[in-house]
Amino acid sequence: MFKSLPLPLSDANATAGGGANAFGDLPEWDLSDLYPAPDAPELAADMDWLEAECAAFANDYQGRLATLDAAAMTECIHRYEKIATVSGRVMSYVGLRYYQLTTDGARAKALSDAQDRITTYTAPLVFFSLEFNRIDDAVYAALFSAGDLARYKPVFDRMRATKPYQLSDELEKFLHDSSVVGAAAWNRLFDETEAGLEFDVQGEKLNLEATTTLMQDHDRAKREAAAREMARVLNLNIKTFARIHNTLAKEKEIEDRWRKMPSPQFSRHLSNDVEPEVVEALRNAVVAAYPRLSHRYYRLKAKWLGLDKLQVWDRNAPLPTEAPRTISWDEARATVLGAYAKFSPHMAEIALPFFEKGWIDAAVKPGKSSGAFAHPTVTTVHPYVMLNYLGKPRDVMTMAHELGHGVHQTLAAKQGELLADTPLTLAETASVFGEMLTFRALLDQAKTPAERKTLLAGKVEDMINTVVRQIAFYDFECKLHAARAEGELTPDDINALWMSVQSESLGDAFEFMPGYETYWAYIPHFVHSPFYVYAYAFGDGLVNALYAAYADGLPDFQAKYFAMLEAGGSKHHKELLAPFGLDASDPAFWDKGLSMIAGFIDELEALDAQGV
């Protein structure tokens, strides 16, 4: 229940740049709202407070939770929430500083030391969830039926859902204490290995972010050079990446076995507060739709590019009719805020301070963490957004996506630290909706059929990357964890698992170059948050259905939408979607979302038939 480090959500690490450049004056984080400096007395005081309060909390409540009346339980939860807030503030600060410059030894040490100290300080709190779950069901139901405790019930309902899978108090404490040398350590090794990768593309030294960006370049030779260099460098490091995946998958298998989890995916479903059958329905609907989505679209794209077969470096290539352009930071900002304001001025008002108050770090810099994320920090401060802005059209969509997260996190903060966090399946709702608003605003401004075709193709590719590609990633992870349970995996074993999902998901329009089999190695989701990836497909399908309700004129849509975001993690997805007439547990629900993508491809085929 304590806040983790922010998760870098894209594939790479950034390179040169920063401050004023071709894209304009790019903002950088001002982290002083968290702490004035790494040696600030406020930070030291919070660390001292945590040490003392965790010990005092355990002394006051261990062995007594089942005897507390409503007033005493309320005070207990408020104290527990304050510990979560202070520890989250500390870890947010040291984590965000680290992600600004992952290659800096002092920042890495500060992060590691803070993790070690907080792990030690919070060790006495391990009793809390274990003892809480042993409270008699009737006592629990009566206690949490009214007053302030009733508000917290969704949090503790989710906690009690883990009851069948918890271990002895002693084992849980051991896992807590050893976490800093387990998954957390392997996560850092992955991050630091990625940050240190260097690519030589046509004589230019690049890091991963810039190299993957080149695979969207208009120049096909440049795209190919970047793709082949990616494969070369990943292959040089493949043993390290294979060791990381082997170790983390085995560690997870051991813990899942001890906890008697029914599957490797189950703990993710549990933390997402989503039923396994709902995820399975989503997965099956997407896989069944591969032929009418990705396979059909990529055959069209091969035709547009004049190719018999697409190569991996053509997957995200711009269309031949698309004029190369660099989008300034100011234009991107105006586009996204304008789209938000058209939906609701309130949405734009919430997003505006991110640009004005140092809540976005946008420049591409050596050693900066990969891609993009929005980290909520704690509910008493505000979120921070990380981008690696390179002036591409997709960077504008990334801005819209992460600001959507920021708006969601800001609205949910009123729930307080324990109730604000949204399960991953719903956490992607506002971000993907923000993208959709921006796309629709651009589509409405299209002046010619060719411009409309370019926008539609870009959106279809984004949706395929969000839905088809992420479900293929999910299938890869399922296969990886199942295979690792049978024994150690060589790099070739993992490569083969990766390729087994690629041709199935991308279709017969593709030919895969030698070396593409290593591309699993640089994707951080598999390391940082196993089985995270289906949340993207969940969010996209959900947003497509939501947007259809909005376009159909559902009464009071904006008010219902903001109420959903403000709820944070206080309600189950069934309850949140009911005002929109939607139900994610209905298998037909997912076909509605997928039909929107298919409809865009229908329009592209019609434009193609007209010679556009």
Rounded Cα–Cα distance for residues 579 and 554 (Å): 10
Look at strands 384-386 and 360-361 and give their pairing: parallel
Q: Is residue 80 part of a domain?
A: yes
Q: Are residues 421 and 568 in the same domain?
A: yes
User: Is there a contact between 130 and 163 (Cβ–Cβ < 8 Å)?
Assistant: no
Nearest to 539 by CA among 475, 584, 473: 584
Rounded Cα–Cα distance for residues 476 and 343 (Å): 37
DSSP string across 242-292: HHHHHHHHHHHHHHHHHHT-SSTTHHHHHHHT--HHHHHHHHHHHHHHGGG
The pTM (predicted TM-score) of the whole model is 0.83
List the CATH number of the domain containing 89.
1.20.140.70
Amino acid 4: pLDDT: 53
Q: What is the DSSP letter of 375?
A: E
Direct distance between the N- and C-terminal alpha carbons of the chain, in angstroms, rounded to an integer: 53
Q: Are residues 44 and 112 in the same domain?
A: yes
Q: Are residues 486 and 603 in the same domain?
A: no
Amino acid 366: pLDDT: 87
Amino acid 84: pLDDT: 97
Q: Are residues 522 and 542 in the same domain?
A: no
Amino acid 10: pLDDT: 38
Q: Are residues 317 and 437 in the same domain?
A: no
Rounded Cα–Cα distance for residues 316 and 362 (Å): 22
Q: For the chain, list residues with pLDDT below 70.
A: 1-22
Amino acid 382: pLDDT: 98
Contacts of 198-202 spanning 24+ positions with Cβ under 8 A:
198/233, 199/226, 199/229, 199/230, 199/233, 200/229, 201/225, 201/226, 201/229
Query: CA-CA distances (angstroms) from residue 364 to 226, 335, 376, 382, 389?
Result: 18, 21, 22, 23, 6
Q: Are residues 363 and 487 in the same domain?
A: no
Q: Are residues 511 and 597 in the same domain?
A: no
Q: Is residue 407 part of a domain?
A: yes
**Which helix (H) or strand (E) is 389 found in, with range?**
none
Q: Is residue 401 part of a domain?
A: yes
**Residue at which a domain ends, from 112, 132, 161:** 161
Rounded Cα–Cα distance for residues 402 and 7 (Å): 12
Amino acid 9: pLDDT: 40
E strands of 495-564, at which residues?
none
List the CATH number of the domain containing 455.
1.10.390
Cα 90 to chain centroid distance, Å, stands at: 21
Q: Is residue 101 part of a domain?
A: yes
Per the structure, the count of domains in the chain is 3
Q: Is residue 475 part of a domain?
A: yes
User: Is there a contact between 541 and 585 (Cβ–Cβ < 8 Å)?
Assistant: no
Q: Are residues 138 and 73 in the same domain?
A: yes
Q: Is residue 28 part of a domain?
A: no
Helix (H, G, I), strand (E, B) or coil at 426: helix
Helices (H), 161-204: 169-178, 183-196
Nearest to 477 by CA among 283, 346, 297: 283
**Residue at which a domain ends, from 511, 528, 545:** 528
Q: Are residues 69 and 99 in the same domain?
A: yes
Q: Are residues 249 and 314 in the same domain?
A: yes
Q: Is residue 405 part of a domain?
A: yes
Domain boundaries, position 90: 34-161
Amino acid 374: pLDDT: 95
Degrees, nearest 5: CA angle 245-248-254: 135
Q: Are residues 342 and 298 in the same domain?
A: no
Residues whose CB is less than 8 angstroms from the CB of residue 48 and which lie 6 or more positions away in sequence, other chains included: none
Q: Is residue 394 part of a domain?
A: yes
Amino acid 16: pLDDT: 32
Nearest to 527 by CA among 261, 188, 269: 188
**Residue at which a domain ends, from 487, 502, 528:** 528
Q: Are residues 218 and 338 in the same domain?
A: no
Amino acid 202: pLDDT: 95
